């Protein structure tokens, strides 16, 4: 195999990793409503994609190795994109903590740490419980869970993406600096 073919294969692989990584982050930006960022990432993604794909299409019949490089770049790009998206952790989550005895202590600790908490009384299979709802940035999720588990190591919790979160009483930990209550009035 010629040296030029190997170099082209590596470039195609890297281009596809970049395309899929950008595409994953762009998709998350779109879901989060970040229109401008999604626009620019989409333009960059397609620019790199067109260059990489055209190189493969032009030569894949003669050099199937380039198709393999493209496919491997696609696969690695998916994994890399997921990893990058988890690291930047955009958006908000709703965390629900359910505790039969420590709910009030958990909610107090959350508030002391700067996280707003709503407490609701409920009925579990073994009697009364409290449910604490905490809306936080995804990048703060580990901290929020850690606070609750420090108080109750067996606390039951679930979380899900919150979509767009509007802050009632913003604190530095709950809301992005550019969003304040007056922005939503």
What lies within 8 Å, CB to CB, of 36 at 6+ separation is: none
d(CA 109, CA 117): 10
- One-letter-per-residue 3-state SS of 108-141: HHHHHCCCCEEEEEEEECCEEEEEEEEEEEHHHH
Domain boundaries, the chain: 3-88, 92-184
Q: 107: closest CA among 67, 63, 151, 66?
A: 151
pLDDT value of residue 152 = 93
Would you give per-residue pLDDT tens digits along the chain (185 residues)? 688 889 989 999 999 999 999 999 899 888 877 889 899 999 999 998 898 888 788 888 888 999 999 999 999 999 999 999 888 877 888 999 998 889 999 999 999 999 989 999 989 888 899 999 999 988 899 999 999 999 999 899 999 987 655 555 555 555 544 443 334 33
Q: Residue 95 in contact with residue 134, Cβ under 8 Å?
A: yes
Q: 132: closest CA among 111, 154, 153, 112?
A: 111
Three-state DSSP at 161 gives strand
| CA 185 and chain centroid, separation | 28
CATH topology (fold) of 92-184: Alpha-Beta Plaits (3.30.70)
pLDDT value of residue 183 = 40
Q: How far is CA 131 from CA 115, 122, 173, 174, in A?
A: 15, 7, 21, 19
pLDDT value of residue 105 = 94
């Amino acid at each position: 195999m010629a040296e030029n073919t190997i170099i082209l294969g590596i470039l195609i692989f890297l281009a596809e990793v970049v395309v899929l990584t950008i595409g994953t982050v762009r998709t998350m930006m779109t879901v989060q409503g970040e229109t401008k960022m999604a626009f620019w990432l989409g333009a960059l993604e397609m620019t790199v994609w067109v260059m990489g794909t055209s190189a493969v299409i032009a030569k894949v019949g003669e050099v199937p190795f380039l198709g393999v490089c493209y496919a491997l770049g696609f696969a690695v790009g998916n994994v890399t994109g997921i990893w990058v998206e988890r690291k930047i952790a955009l958006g908000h989550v709703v965390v629900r903590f359910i505790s039969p005895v420590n709910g009030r202590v958990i909610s107090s600790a959350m508030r002391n740490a700067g996280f707003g908490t709503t407490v609701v009384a409920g009925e579990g299979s073994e009697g009364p419980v409290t449910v604490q709802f905490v809306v936080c940035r995804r990048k703060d999720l580990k901290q929020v869970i850690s606070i609750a588990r420090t108080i109750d190591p067996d606390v039951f919790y679930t979380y899900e993406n919150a979509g767009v979160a509007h802050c009632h009483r913003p604190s530095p930990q709950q809301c992005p600096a550019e969003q304040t209550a007056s922005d939503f009035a």
